[in-house]
Structure 1
């Protein structure tokens, strides 16, 4: 029931809301998707999944008309930071906070064990549809999450898993040391206390990023990953590093409309030496990314168990930084709601959802950066551990990232040590 694994989205509803009808819609979504009705019990020292026949959820209606907007958002965040119960349920909490007769805040919280960005998108879409009166019985059937679990079990027993393990073992041989991004001494133990901040890149910068990716024949996610590797070189002289990113395993028909945790955290390794140009580094990251797409289904925890990398208390194996690029095309609802930015979702519908920013006071990793293009601009949400990384350290690193990335795009063949010398960073929009 670790709170950092709560997946939270929030919205403002500038319309009258029928709370009983909304609760019925929540229950309908849970009945359609067994992953949201699954609890985890222990027997004989091993965890087991139990799918409940009836939905188990929290649906709370509160009145915050006496609070100003900032206070109300903070109160909403409190509900988002309360734990969910894996042993008994629920794995879902929905909070409807009244701000006025036709003004509400809505929080949808699902434990990450049962959800990901694509799942949140499905849940929001279905919640709106069922609230508007669509009969759940007429909705297209979806593949239950148990199909994915069985598929993964069979995959792990086959030759593809052996090939993937061999590929990863060669790519992760002699791993680099963990990153030290802060002069602050790392506190002992494991902590999930976190802080967050946001950033935004202009439409002009976003267009330059997109056009560069097209010219180079790579994805934007590859460019931003390569840019962060280059930033680590400029910030700390790093010449060999591993970053993590999340990737969806939804290749089979029907899985795109299912709710469950279909993600795997995968690793990208690159060597951003100062005498290399950005285009050369980009090609390395692109080639690594193409390879990992063939072998992305090997779960990270099993990979760590097999390869036994050096471990340190409170740190993930191999990596300390996660950088995710979220597709606004694939997840148009959840990306907007997660970042709290963008146009209202279904503005003419019965449940119009206006993205609402809510603070997240938690962090699973030293630094986790989630980025997306919304409304023609790149927006970013950053979670970090303040016990190790001070806010000024994070903002300086983000400023340097912006400078390194766009200077490298403008001069992709210059050596990194001549692009964006350390200390020369543009102003950020945090």
Structure 2
């Protein structure tokens, strides 16, 4: 992880200066995207021989690159931490933070970003069990996380109501009014489209700034779906 954050880009711009003693009070901006957009991003990911996660990560990368003014973005995501024998039956919180350095956007298309996001993710998963927080090389910027500038969360939950060992359960996503990181972008694809939110540290960002990032994210997701549709055989794109 030290090599991933070496010569890291400057932190993403904020509305107010960072300080090491931030209280991390947070707020959210919600968004929703149609099934057509969600299906288009999945189709583009499949054409790139990667996952829907990489496709949505590519959209998040594009939006944050616009916000920061450079394609070199240091994102963080989470792994389940249950890749060892027997760990699937362990009760507890085993998530590990995984830094993903996204730098080369190729020609800037969604397809190029998706391929790059997929390759970066596969490379980092090989080391996902090693706690990145143990690295000794850290950016000398007060108030910043050593491994990331923003967090991307992706969870394909499927149906809202499920049955687990005979019990009917419903997943509830609650806004706790806090922000663990400067920015956290969450995407939850479902059968009728994708929903999500951008959580932001209110000591760093104004609501208007968060809304602009979300507006660009949703617009870029729609553009990505349109690009994927044009690339389908018989629709004017390459076979």
The TM-score range, normalised by the shorter chain, is 0.7 to 0.9
1:178 aligns with 2:11: yes
Q: Paired residue for 2:177?
A: 361
Q: Paired residue for 1:386?
A: 202
Q: Paired residue for 1:309?
A: 138
Q: What are the ranges of 5 or more consecutive residues in structure 2 without an aligned counterpart?
A: 229-239
Change (3 A) 1:228 1:176: same
What aligned pairs does 1:44-55 form with structure 2 within 5 A after superposition?
A: none
Count of residues in correspondence between the two structures: 226
Note if contact 1:268-1:289 (Cα within 8 Å) is conserved in structure 2.
yes
What aligned pairs does 1:105-116 form with structure 2 within 5 A after superposition?
A: none
Q: Of residues 153, 157, 178 in structure 2, which corresponds to 1:324?
A: 153
What aligned pairs does 1:57-136 form with structure 2 within 5 A after superposition?
A: none
Note if contact 1:239-1:274 (Cα within 8 Å) is conserved in structure 2.
no
Q: 1:223 and 1:273 mapped to 2: Cα distance?
A: 13
TM-score by length of 2: 0.83
Note if contact 1:271-1:281 (Cα within 8 Å) is conserved in structure 2.
no
Q: 1:409 and 1:271 mapped to 2: Cα distance?
A: 22
Q: Paired residue for 1:221?
A: 53
Q: 2:182 and 2:210 mapped to 1: Cα distance?
A: 10
Q: 1:287 and 1:354 mapped to 2: Cα distance?
A: 34
3-state secondary structure, aligned to 1:379: strand
Q: 2:113 and 2:172 mapped to 1: Cα distance?
A: 37
Change (3 A) 1:287 1:273: closer
Q: 1:372 and 1:403 mapped to 2: Cα distance?
A: 17
Q: Paired residue for 1:276?
A: 108
1:258 aligns with 2:90: yes
Q: Of residues 43, 52, 63 in structure 2, which corresponds to 1:211?
A: 43
Note if contact 2:198-2:214 (Cα within 8 Å) is conserved in structure 1.
no
**Per-residue deviation, residues 358-380 of structure 1 (Å, max 9, x unmatched):** 43210111111222223332121
Change (3 A) 1:325 1:174: same
Q: What are the ranges of 5 or more consecutive residues in structure 1 without an aligned counterpart?
A: 1-167, 333-341, 413-430
Q: 1:198 and 1:231 mapped to 2: Cα distance?
A: 15
- Please, what is the CA RMSD of the aligned residues? 2.5
Q: 2:95 and 2:205 mapped to 1: Cα distance?
A: 27
**Per-residue deviation, residues 126-185 of structure 1 (Å, max 9, x unmatched):** xxxxxxxxxxxxxxxxxxxxxxxxxxxxxxxxxxxxxxxxxx3443331111111x3x22
Q: What is the Cα deviation at residue 239 of structure 1?
A: 2.5
Higher helix share: 1
Change (3 A) 1:397 1:410: same
**Per-residue deviation, residues 270-315 of structure 1 (Å, max 9, x unmatched):** 1256953332232222211111111112102112x2xx12133322
**Per-residue deviation, residues 324-355 of structure 1 (Å, max 9, x unmatched):** 111326xx7xxxxxxxxx33x449x6x64445
3-state secondary structure, aligned to 2:157: coil
Q: Of residues 373, 385, 408 in structure 1, which corresponds to 2:189?
A: 373
Q: Paired residue for 1:39?
A: none
Q: Paired residue for 1:132?
A: none
Question: Which structure has more RCO (C-alpha within 8 Å, separation ≥ 6)?
Answer: 2
Note if contact 1:238-1:273 (Cα within 8 Å) is conserved in structure 2.
no
3-state secondary structure, aligned to 2:92: coil
| Larger deviation, residues 197-206 vs 352-361 | 352-361
Pair member with larger Rg: 1
Change (3 A) 1:364 1:325: same
